[in-house]
Amino acid sequence: MEQIITLGKAFWCNHTKEELEAEREVQETKNEAPRHICSYRHNKSHYPISSPEKIKDWVLRLAVDQDIERKIIFNDIIRGSIEFDARLLGDFSIARSLDEPLYNFAVVVDDTYTEISHVIRGEDHISNTPKQILIYEALGKILPQFAHLPLILAPDRSKLSKRHGAVAVTDYKKDYLPEAILNFLGGMSFTFSKDIISKEEMIEEFELAKVHKSGAIFDVKKLNWINSQYIKKISVGEFKKITNVPELPDDAIPLVTERLEKLTDIQNFDYFWKEPEYDKELLKWKKATLEESLKAVSEVKNIIEKNDFTQEILRAEFDKLGEKIGDRGLAYWPLRVALTGKEKSPDPVDVAMVLGKEKTLKRINDAIKKFEL
């Protein structure tokens, strides 16, 4: 910071807030762009650098040439050529003290000393770029390349905020697989060859210059769908480790992963490891009466008791029952509810195979008892 002062590129200013507001009001009446052109910029005796305590409440400003008409032009990798009128920036502040640099000065120094070649950030930083370019020039440093990404927007195209959908990526850990998050974010502002794409393929296909310019919509439904595709691919062991539900039978995992969108939805399948709770009204199939539903579930019980407990045999017998009573749904619905307590579930015969004959019959008996209440 002392270097830029010594070079005569920056100066201390102690104009009060009231003075700055008065200057702004005058500019507004003249329809001029609001900016501070400081009267102290050429008065070297106004600020003794050797006495920092005397400039405690002052700000350090970059001296921007107001006598020469100049366009600050830079090539944005994503957006192409962008230009600003340097004179409209005024003598903008770069520090509050020698120990308190402001954002634009701090990032230039940091990026310079860390040898950053590409500054990639949100489009809301475009207006900072001309100021940073002037600071680079004042320090005699080489400019990096700039690329300004589109902002992530809510479904109504408003800016995401903590009140409107903005959540830290870490908060998604309990619901989403890392690969799904990466796939989703990578495809928000770039068109890959396919919707589900590996990290290696993304690296191979990605080109910064082809990133979309318009705002990216944060579509939770698409995120959920992408996550569901990755969940289907993970192994039984990995799934058990991630979800940490040791009670879930291994045989149930393929049935669960086919239907999960979010990892925490595993709790919707708790009937695989504990007795379901439900109201007896749920056992009633559509327009069927409770009596008709009771008769159907009783016949289902008889089928299970009298036949080998295999998927093929049970499914064939239940289909025959459906034909006999003239409603296939009535044959399967009470069984589904008895086993799961849910309106939606995997095929009830598949659920029965996971539970086993003993648990299946117990739950059917529990359902029959509900009819009697």
The per-residue DSSP string of 320-355 comes to HHHHHHT-HHHHHHHHHHHHHSSSS-S-HHHHHHHH
- Residue 371, pLDDT score: 84
Q: How do the pLDDT tens digits run along the chain, 373 residues long? A: 888 888 888 888 888 888 888 888 888 888 888 888 888 777 655 555 555 555 567 888 998 887 778 899 999 999 999 999 988 898 999 998 878 899 999 999 999 999 999 999 999 999 999 999 999 999 999 999 999 999 998 888 888 766 665 566 677 888 999 999 999 999 999 999 999 999 999 999 999 999 999 988 899 999 999 999 999 999 999 999 999 888 999 999 999 999 999 999 999 999 999 999 999 899 999 888 888 999 999 999 999 999 999 999 999 999 999 999 999 999 999 999 999 999 999 999 999 999 999 999 999 999 999 988 7
What is the DSSP code (8-state) at residue 161?
Answer: B
What is the model's pLDDT at position 69? 80
User: Distance between CA 315 and CA 83 in Å, rounded?
Assistant: 71
pLDDT at 44: 57
CB-side neighbour CA atoms (13 Å) of 218: 14
Q: Using alpha carbons only, give the angle 355, 357, 359 rounded to the nearest 5 degrees.
A: 55
pLDDT the model gives residue 163: 63
What is the pTM for the complete model shown? Answer: 0.82
Query: What secondary structure does DSSP assign to 182-234, as a single string?
Result: HHHHHTTSS--SSSS--HHHHHHH--GGGS-SSPEE--HHHHHHHHHHHHHHS
What pLDDT is recorded for position 115? 96
Q: Which domains does the chain have, with CATH numbers?
A: 2-149 (3.40.50.620), 169-232 (1.10.1160.10), 234-272 (no CATH), 280-372 (1.10.10.350)
- In this structure, what are the phi and psi dihedrals at residue 148, rounded to the nearest 5 degrees? -110, 115
pLDDT score recorded for residue 329: 92
Q: What is the pLDDT of residue 54?
A: 58
What pLDDT score was predicted for residue 368? 94
Can you give the pLDDT at residue 223?
A: 96
